[in-house]
Amino acid sequence: MTPAPRKWPDPTTALFALALIAIPLSVPAVSTAAETPVTIIARPIESFRGRAFGDVVQKLIWRGGLELKGPEDFGGLSGLTFTDPEHFVIVSDRGQFFTGTLEYSDGRPQGLTNVTMSPIRNSHNVPLPPNYSRDAEAIDTIFRFGKVTGVRVGFENLTRVADFDLVDNRPTGAALEVPIPHWLSDLRSNRSLESLCIAPETSPIAGATILLMEDFPDQEGNHAGWILGRNEGDPIAGPISLTADPGFNPTDCAFLPDGDLLVLERGTGFLSFNMRIRRLDAAGIHTGAVLTGQIILTGAGGDIDNMEAMAVRTMPDGTVRITLMSDNNFNGWERNLLLEFELIEVQE
């Protein structure tokens, strides 16, 4: 499928040199040890859609949530991943990594501890300058041979994808540029690359990366996307799209352990936000596919906020948790929320 205003290039030649390579030459060097401890205050959220902890909400189980408050820089939370069941990495749209531990009490989120903030760096190991190049919107954990080796980050405005090494569950060092098609890297908008997720071994496209645009249509009016192959010339690489419904745009995606794909979508209502999650069958995720799926959760009003981030992980007890986060856009009327749900094993 092709975005209406542009033509798809040949995926074997559609590689680009990330613009962030050139950025650092005019930016003064900053200490590479800029890791700042951050104290986060967490207020428990007891219910969702009127349901108590442990109750079924549509096709998920409500497992509690938190309203998070921190220093001025703690905000713009746009992407979330876990490097293990406890340790998280968040990206902000001001070019920061937040890392730490999500603590639990009686199975429900209790707070964020050992939180640090560090700048996202470009390919010259220099913090991104304070401009549109900082707009990180999505993140996922990279696994190789069953082991965590790094994280992959998607950016909008200056649209690009980059990998980062992990040390003690924290991203570190210079960005390693990931080639993406020219039509995608040519986008210069905050409506471009919003969702990024890496397929697990159970997926027919194992190891590939799904990229979904927030509000950039293909020729049929669907949300345009792309499957990044595992290497140059990978035959599984190519276009993919998500059916568009009026009022909703994708803000993140995450794969379930069985290879099914979840897509988080955001909408706006009267003075509030709407949200929903779609589940898409693993067998239907391939080059040229138009994804539709089944809605498994919706939310609106005071139960949610500007929901932008989603992560999936398997807990030590074998249950699968889905964690959502909101972006407060650094203003006083939006909140940083963390909402958590458990996957119901048998879907209707």
Whole-angstrom Cα distance, residue 128 to residue 126? 6
| Res 340: pLDDT | 98
The whole-angstrom separation of Cα 234 and Cα 209 is 12
Cα–Cα separations (whole angstroms), residue 262 to 251, 272, 300: 11, 23, 19
* Eight-state DSSP code of residue 17: -
pLDDT at 345: 79
The residue count for the chain: 348
CB 315 within 8 A of CB 85: yes
Of the ranges 13-27, 41-55, 211-225, which one carries the lowest mean pLDDT score? 13-27
| DSSP-based three-state secondary structure for 99 | strand
User: What CATH fold (topology level) applies to the domain 52-343?
Assistant: Tachylectin-2; Chain A (2.115.10)
Proportion of the chain above pLDDT 90, given as a percent:
83
So what's the pLDDT on residue 98?
98
Choose among 247, 256, 255, 315: nearest CA to 276: 247
The pLDDT-based confidence of 7 (bands split at 50, 70, 90) is: very low
| Span 240-256, average pLDDT | 96
Rounded Cα distance, 336 and 348, in Å: 32
Strand partners, 208: none
CB count in 10 Å sphere of residue 10: 8
pTM of the entire structure? 0.90
Are 177 and 188 a contacting pair, CB within 8 Å?
Answer: no
Question: Burial of 216 by CB count in 10 Å (0-12 exposed, 13-18 middle, 19+ buried)?
Answer: buried
* Structure confidence by residue, pLDDT tens digits, 128-143: 998 899 999 999 999 9
Q: Please state, in angstroms and rounded to a whole number, the distance separating the CA atoms of residues 26 and 314.
A: 44
The CB density around residue 215, as the number of other CB atoms within 10 Å, is 14
Domain definitions of the chain by residue range? 52-343
| Lowest-pLDDT range of 27-36, 79-88, 267-276 | 27-36
Q: How confident is the model at residue 346 (pLDDT cuts 50, 70, 90)?
A: low
- Indicate the helix (H) or strand (E) that contains 149: strand 147-155
Give the chain's mean pLDDT.
Answer: 90
pLDDT at 146: 86
Cβ-contact 42, 320 below 8 angstroms:
no
The mean pLDDT value for 268-272 works out to: 82
Q: How far is CA 77 from CA 36, 73, 98, 139, 319, in A?
A: 17, 10, 9, 11, 25
pLDDT tens digit sequence for 143-188: 998 899 999 999 999 999 999 999 999 999 999 999 999 999 999 9
235 by DSSP, 3-state: which? coil
Buried b / exposed e across 275-313, counting CB within 10 Å, b at 16+? bbbbbbebeebbbebbbebeebbbbeeebbbbbbbbbbb
